[in-house]
Amino acid sequence: MITPGANYPGALPIANGSEDLAAAALDVFLAAVSERATELEQVPIRHRVAHLEGDPVRAPEADRDGWFAWVLSMSDGTTVQVRIPGVEVVRMRDDLSAMAPCLYVNANPWGWDAAVGSVANEGMKLRQSP
């Protein structure tokens, strides 16, 4: 179990987290996810069976400790929940230390790059051998 602050300092509560900053970061995050998804689709052993579809839906009931939640819909009817910290993008994207605020993807804390990869990988499957 990950204990905020003990195992992963980037999961410590954020004082004065801003929903506006989180929403702005979500836009940057989704652009990075789209770019990574395009790269993943070029890998010959994998293929996409579902993609992100529609606009993110705000999920305030899942907000926690300075993180703000959205639900992303997939074309196969599944969803992905992301919680974005209410801080400037550079604090989570450009700081590679363990102190950088993490993003939560389906309740799992990830650094920026890993969170981008996690969401970009949603809907990908290995190709079956002939």
- Per the domain annotation, does 52 fall within a domain? yes
- Per the domain annotation, does 2 fall within a domain? no
- Per the domain annotation, does 3 fall within a domain? no
Domain count of the chain? Answer: 1
- Per the domain annotation, does 106 fall within a domain? yes
CA distance 7 to 32: 27
Structural domain of 39: 9-126
Residue 110 Cα distances to 5, 42, 77, 107, angstroms? 14, 24, 24, 9
pTM value is 0.89
Smallest CA-to-CA distance from 92 within 12, 37, 3, 2 is with: 12
pLDDT in tens, the chain (130 residues): 555 555 678 889 999 999 999 999 999 999 999 999 999 888 888 888 899 999 999 999 999 999 999 999 999 999 999 999 999 999 999 999 889 999 999 999 999 999 999 999 998 888 877 6
